[in-house]
Structure 1
Amino acid sequence: MSLAFLFPGQGSQAVGMGQDLAEAFAAAREVFQEVDEALKQKLSTLMREGPEDQLTLTENAQPALMAVSVAVMRTLEREFGVGVEKASFVAGHSLGEYSALAATGAISLADTARLLKLRGQAMQRAVPVGEGAMASLIGPKTDLALAEAAAAAGAEVGVCVVANDNNNGNVVISGEKAAVDRAIEAAKALGARAIPLNVSAPFHCPLMAPAAKEMAEALAGATLVAPRAPVVCNVTAQPTNDPELIRRLLVEQVTGRVRWRESMIWMAGDGGVTRFAEAGTGKVLAGMAKRIAPDAEAVSLNAPADLEAFAKSL
């Protein structure tokens, strides 16, 4: 059995996230306290109590999701003796790539929290509210080719690209609002359903260039070391443990496509992964894994009981 740990992205956050882990395990409480201290903010209280609209803000949701993912991994290692080295690969969806890097020790937890806080703020600053948009194209006819065609129609009136190639049946487009609106109409004509997303900015598109510049400056000053397990990167869908390549790809990721479907296909194929474990809040990536790699097992590690059952199964 070959294992890969997966780390969720934005949208999986919810009030109460991580609370059962904190109540059950000292390792989880220490992670939340360390993140609070790094950010000089009671993020753990916001995660536990809300309000939801504050937790959903990009600058809060990103470090919060990372904190829960790292809490899961630290608890697995300390309480159950399951270290990240048990995995052949790790991969994270968008901000989840930072969670993967923190979990593998490539970036310190405190630095990861500060980088994600800045990433959220920089993304928000890059495009005035209301000028950008994202939409999820879904349905049995939806694949990358359909999404590319819809985005090309949108690009006739403004910036519009494929942002997240999640899996067949779920591809996200991003760009200027008028262009995304045009792409939505084109997608419907091609047989897809299109759902505008309630997001604060158009992520993973060229409009995020100012945020990429800010992240390049921040990452240039950050300490990165080789991860304890190879990271399959969003923008290449290939594994690496080269810190300088990781640094460069994190900058490219701000404006680049999240090639999640390709990443999963590579891990389940060339990578030989037969079991995926989603570490953190929600079950989105485990669900995608079952659709992309139906022959592999996929589990979600959310609650204390999940961690115990997973550790026993290894």
Structure 2
Amino acid sequence: MTSQQPLKIIFAGTPEFAEVALQALLDAGHNIVAVYCQPDRPSGRGKKIVFGPVKQLAVEHNIPVEQPLNFKVDGSLERLRSYGADLMIVVAYGLLLPQSVLTTPRYGCINIHGSLLPRWRGAAPIQRAIEAGDKQSGITIMQMDKGLDTGNMLLKKDCPILPDDTGSTLHDKLAILGGAAITEFLANFDPLDSGEIQQDSEANYAHKLSKQEAQIDWSQSAIEIAQKVRAYNAWPVCYTFVGQNRMRIWQAQWLKTTKPINEKPGTVVDLGKLGIDVVCGDGQLLRVTELQADGSKRMDAAALLNARKDWFIEHPCLGNQV
């Protein structure tokens, strides 16, 4: 940007992914005039009201914090306008912004999105990419419009998805990359740059994750289940049943077999120090290496079998709650 005046920026975000971007902006010396985040909500067993990561960081830096339920509440839009922002940067805010908000800042609203758009528009792009077996993800800096992640692309940064990446590890990598990408974008900010139009024909949608879909369907192929286990680590975490006992599965790997195993999907064929080998729908094996029984802590398969091997002997086919 050629002007000597620093941009007046409003930052909108709520969780840790957004906090990393806000910290990067602060470290780069940008003028954050206000922070918008979701209202405080009860958390933990005690249901205590806890500030979200973005709000905590804003408070530490004495930045005004706004937490409207939506922008239809009386005075919320006027309050936004009162900051006289040049730009609003949005990342994992958790609220769909109406057109009246998108056009309030002088240069509109910019989004930091955790995928290489137009692939994986929507709420869970990081996890859906791993679940689908993608080899690459990244960050897209996008000009927001009235659609869901449909705006023009202003900057893209690639990030490979490694074979051992989980939803958690890729989240952390992309959070850091998002912070770097937005600071790079602002360092070269040109309000006349309209960016690249997305091709809708190449788009797909990353539906929000749910606890219900985390239950393993052993009729799926071993590689599909392995990818799902990786994607849903650390939330909502895949699970299955050993009899009536729910078992979370944190780590698992596909074991290639020379020929399909002719057993019912979900059948346990080996209990060993290296893991619990389970037949999947394609006759291939999934080796479960890290598990967690309800009321217990995460542990490797060998440790769990020391205490709970009888569960698997008594119920040699997983997935059926009996």
TM-score, normalised by the number of residues in structure 1: 0.28
Q: Which has the higher strand share?
A: 2
The structure number with the bigger radius of gyration is 2
